[in-house]
């Protein structure tokens, strides 16, 4: 789970500094071992030179090995401000010849080896570096062992100096890099802070797009998403306001009629004379009920169309059920309502309630505006995409009005009935919701009205 107090600046700084610190530490470790190697090599050569100097002082007289080392020479050999030097010379036959008997030895004196041997040990409680050499004297054939030990103060001092010379600049580099990154991150994140301030200072009614003039390219993904959200919110609010305005406008007339007829009925004392007013009240109530139903359906189809859950439906069964439900109303006007289909398994993706409302509006229009004793044909076809067709033989729609009848609250001048001009507007909204194409045209031979709903088979 992500920490809610997690900082983007800290995250970026951490991801940048951790590798840098790791490489610095790796470089320090590598420098340590390289310095140790080269310092040991340098001082080992000096230690080896001291051993060679002692070998030159070994003499053979009367088959007796001796070391002729004057006190002054011995003082020079051991003189050092930082380190102490010890030596031990032994003969294979005579044993100890000169020096300090506690100087460490790498191997037993009776073991042969070639070349100098370097190793680390302790002498008198101090760490020492020791070199041991085996020398065969040509004059007597005697074998001697020369061991020289030196404390490691100069080695440690030189290593510390070299490491400090290497580490201090890197520590300074990391420090300045950290300060530079902090400053850079503060400046780099400044547009985000400015963006947050700009949004926080906005009015709750200001849904205009966020300016991207000083926004980095990487942040534009965020601002684009916010702008798209603001656009959808603006559309939703505008639709809501339009819906409220339209509803108030359309409900005002029947409400005024209800009030007027109610006042008229209250003035009458005779029940028989109240009948016309009561009939008008019933008519206004029916109109309000119809209008309210259509407004609610219209509100359901907008504005966030993508949020509707569309499922696979059988268009044949849906259209057949609608025809059965509306057959009694068609029979009241002596109209013949027939149903045709080229298949019984035409599948479309849609919302069952909304498609039923679409069919209800189309059938209601056909029955209300068709000729009495006329014909209405509902057909479902697959050519090649599923197509729903409703046609009648009524007076039809004038050519100049075909594009206007799908507009909200638009009614053709002189139209009969008490419709509110929302039927085909609802049909258009539902068709758009289902990615279907709506066509309103004349029927065969220019008689009546033909409405086609062509579904997209790829949707």
**CATH number among 3.30.450, 3.30.230, 3.30.160, 1.10.3470, domain 8-159:** 3.30.450
Q: Which DSSP string do the residues of 170-224 spell out, in sequence order?
A: HHHHHHHHHHHHHHHHHHHTHHHHHHHHHHHTS-TT--PPPP-TT--GGGHHHHH
Mean pLDDT of 352-363: 85
Mean pLDDT of 258-264: 77
Domain 217-300 has CATH 1.10.287.130: yes
Given this model, what pLDDT does residue 304 score?
44
Burial 225-247 (b: 16+ CB within 10 A, else e): eebeebeeebeeeeeeeebeebb
Distance CA 417, CA 176 (A): 84
Given this model, what pLDDT does residue 305 score?
46
Question: Taking every pair of C-alpha atoms in the chain, what is the biggest distance, in angstroms?
Answer: 168
Domain boundaries, the chain: 8-159, 217-300, 308-454
Is the pLDDT at 364 greater than 60, yes or no?
A: yes
Average predicted confidence (pLDDT) for the chain: 79
Least confident of 190-199, 290-299, 328-337, 393-402: 290-299
Report the run of H or E that residue 347 belongs to, with start and end.
strand 347-350
Name the pLDDT band for 380 (thresholds 50, 70, 90).
very high
Mean pLDDT of 71-95: 74
Query: Which class does domain 308-454 fall in?
Result: alpha beta
Rounded to the nearest angstrom, the gap between the alpha carbon of residue 95 and the centroid of all alpha carbons in its chain is: 82
Given this model, what pLDDT does residue 431 score?
86
26-57 residue pLDDT tens: 888 888 888 888 888 888 888 888 888 888 77
164-223 residue pLDDT tens: 888 888 888 888 888 888 888 887 777 777 777 877 777 777 777 777 776 777 677 778
Is the pLDDT at 417 greater than 80, yes or no?
A: no
Given this model, what pLDDT does residue 4 score?
59
Q: Which of 429, 430, 424, 431 is nearest to 449 (CA)?
A: 424
Is the pLDDT at 329 greater than 60, yes or no?
A: yes
CA dihedral 182→188→193→198, nearest 10 degrees, is 160
CA-to-CA dists, residue 135 to 61, 63, 90, 142, 442, angstroms = 17, 16, 10, 8, 124
Going by their DSSP bridges, the two strands 375-382 and 336-341 should be labelled as parallel
Distance CA 199, CA 142 (A): 97
Domains 8-159 and 308-454 share a fold: no
Given this model, what pLDDT does residue 378 score?
92
Is the pLDDT at 78 greater than 80, yes or no?
A: no
Q: Which residues is 388 bridged to in the sheet?
A: 380, 453
Given this model, what pLDDT does residue 156 score?
87
151 CB-near residues (< 8 Å, 6+ apart) = 82, 83, 84, 85, 123, 126, 127, 128, 129
Q: Which residue has the tokens 């539902």?
A: 430
Given this model, what pLDDT does residue 127 score?
92
157-174 residue pLDDT tens: 888 888 888 888 888 888
Q: Which of 367, 303, 373, 305 is nearest to 335 (CA)?
A: 373
109-168 residue pLDDT tens: 545 566 788 898 998 889 999 988 888 876 667 788 888 998 888 888 888 888 888 888
Percent of the chain with pLDDT over 90: 5
Given this model, what pLDDT does residue 317 score?
92
């Amino acid at each position: 789970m992500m920490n809610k107090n997690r900082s983007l600046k800290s995250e970026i700084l951490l991801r940048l500094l951790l590798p840098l610190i790791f490489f610095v530490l790796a470089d320090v470790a590598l420098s340590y071992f390289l310095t140790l190697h080269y310092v040991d090599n340098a001082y080992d050569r000096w230690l080896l030179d001291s051993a060679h100097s002692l070998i030159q002082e070994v003499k053979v007289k009367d088959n007796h090995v001796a070391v002729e080392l004057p006190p002054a020479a011995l003082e020079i050999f051991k003189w050092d401000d930082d380190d102490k030097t010890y030596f031990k010379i032994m003969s294979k036959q005579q044993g100890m010849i000169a020096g300090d008997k506690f100087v460490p030895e790498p191997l037993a004196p009776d073991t042969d080896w070639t070349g100098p041997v370097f190793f680390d040990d302790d002498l008198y409680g101090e760490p020492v570096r020791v070199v041991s050499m085996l020398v065969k004297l040509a004059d007597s054939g005697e074998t001697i062992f020369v061991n020289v030990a030196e404390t490691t103060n100069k080695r440690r001092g030189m290593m510390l100096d070299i490491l400090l010379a290497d580490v201090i600049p890197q520590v300074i580099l990391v420090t300045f890099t950290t300060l530079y990154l902090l400053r850079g991150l503060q400046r780099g994140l400044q547009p985000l802070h400015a963006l947050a301030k700009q949004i926080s200072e906005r009015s709750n009614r200001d849904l205009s797009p966020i300016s991207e003039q000083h926004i980095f390219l990487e942040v534009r993904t965020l601002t684009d998403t916010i702008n798209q959200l603001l656009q959808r919110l603006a559309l939703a609010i505008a639709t809501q306001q339009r819906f409220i305005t339209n509803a108030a406008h359309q409900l005002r007339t029947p409400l005024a009629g209800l009030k007027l007829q109610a006042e008229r009925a209250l003035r009458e004392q005779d029940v028989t004379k109240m009948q016309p007013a009561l009939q008008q009240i019933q008519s206004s109530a029916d109109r309000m009920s119809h209008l309210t139903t259509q407004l609610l359906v219209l509100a359901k189809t907008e504005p966030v169309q993508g949020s509707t859950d569309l499922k696979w439906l059988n268009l044949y069964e849906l259209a057949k059920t609608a025809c059965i439900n509306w057959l009694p109303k068609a029979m009241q006007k002596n109209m013949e309502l027939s149903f045709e289909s080229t298949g019984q398994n035409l599948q479309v993706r849609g919302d069952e309630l909304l498609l039923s409302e679409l069919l209800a509006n189309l059938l209601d229009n056909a029955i209300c505006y068709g000729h009495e004793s006329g014909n209405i044909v509902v057909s479902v076809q697959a050519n090649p995409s599923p197509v729903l067709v409703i046609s009648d033989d009524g007076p039809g729609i004038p050519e100049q009005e075909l594009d206007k009848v799908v507009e909200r609250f638009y009614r053709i001048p002189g139209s009969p009935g008490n419709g509110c001009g929302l039927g085909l507007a609802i049909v258009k909204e539902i068709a758009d919701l289902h990615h279907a194409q709506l066509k309103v045209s004349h029927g065969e031979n220019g008689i009546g009205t033909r409405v086609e709903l062509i579904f997209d088979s790829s949707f």
